[in-house]
Amino acid sequence: MCTAATYTTKDFYFGRTLDYEFSYGDEITITPRNYVFNFRHIGTLSSHYAIIGMAHVAGDYPLYYDGINEKGLGMAGLNFVGNAVYNEVEEGKENIAQFEFIPWILGKCATVKETRALLANINLVKTPFSEMLPCAQLHWIIADKNEAITVEAMADGLHIWDNPAGVLTNNPPFNQQMFMLNNYMHLSAKQPENYFSDQLELKAYSRGMGALGLPGDLSSASRFARVAFVRDHSVSGDTEAESVSQFFHILGSVDQQRGCCEVEPGKYEITLYTSCCNGDKGIYYYTTYENHQISAVDMNHEDLGGNTLVRYPVLQGEKIHMQN
């Protein structure tokens, strides 16, 4: 499972956790403006916005999990198993395969407003990348510095939801996730007052009791509520270091530790990586389960006018700074 969020200080930040029991071999991948995307049903896209993000590169094709483009638009696909439904190819529509959706949006759109217009004629189709890499059941968060939306392709059609929470996890569908936040409207970062009884002298005996009842388990609905609360109450300075640090703390509130989510005997879902993209500067920050040191790749240090992928391996191995 996974969690994605947005955050804004002086700059706009976008990122996610990727929680799974194994990695496909991920790389920080920059797609320059003149790399040719060969789409299965709509031809080629040979000139587009540059993109940076985490991807599995198969046959020189970047299968992006998440990323931002040079204009500051971010997008991430998260598991939506049992609810995602893709269509057959339909004449007269923009037939986009599920694995093509991120490069199609980030390659062509500078803002969420432009994304909404592009989505008007989309048909998300069930064409797999290959026999070895079938369609993943996903839904998506798309965001810029001004707004965010969630896109869900379901049996009853394509849903485009406003996302004022700036958060996405997994099941249930997004409108239900938002409705369930009503269960937590009484929570606060402040200490509680006694509304239980005017006959009893009740006192808060610990700090943090204003948020008593905030979920702490690893289910997708609980992670949605927890990150929405933490994000909404986050306070940080607006320097790059302060903002990036705070963003990792926000998503760190739902880190998955090995041993806590068993998917089958002896196999556990963990937070493989956490990303934080500065949409204004084009920098992709990340940490991994085995390396909590924040690493970064700046897309603007590369030739964005090129036509070949730029790939950086994910840095692993914990970095411990000994002080004596």
Please check whether residue 3 is in contact with residue 254, taking contact to mean a CB–CB distance below 8 angstroms: yes
Which structure tokens are listed for 85? 């439904």
**166 vs 184: CA distance, rounded Å:** 17
Catalytic-labelled residue, pool 2, 109, 276, 277: 2
Name residue 138's beta-bridge partners.
79
- From the list 13, 103, 11, the residue with the least C-alpha distance to 50 is 103
What is the DSSP code string of 95-113? EEEGGGHHHHHHHH-SSHH
- Ranges assigned E (strand) in the chain: 2-8, 12-20, 27-31, 37-39, 43-45, 51-58, 61-69, 74-79, 94-97, 122-125, 138-143, 148-154, 157-162, 167-168, 262-264, 267-268, 270-278, 283-288, 291-298, 310-313
**29 vs 93: CA distance, rounded Å:** 29
Which structure tokens are listed for 54? 């985490």
User: Would you say the C-alpha torsion 140, 154, 261, 24 has a positive or negative sign?
Assistant: negative
Q: How many CA atoms lie within 13 A of 205 on its CB side?
A: 2
The total number of residues shown for the chain amounts to 324
Q: H-type helices in 73-201, by residue range?
A: 101-108, 112-119, 174-180
2 as an active site residue: the answer is: yes
Residue 21 contacts by C-beta under 8 Å, 6 or more apart in sequence?
263, 267, 268, 269, 270
Name residue 317's beta-bridge partners.
none
If one counts every other C-beta atom within 10 angstroms of the C-beta of residue 66, the result is: 26
Active site residues: 2
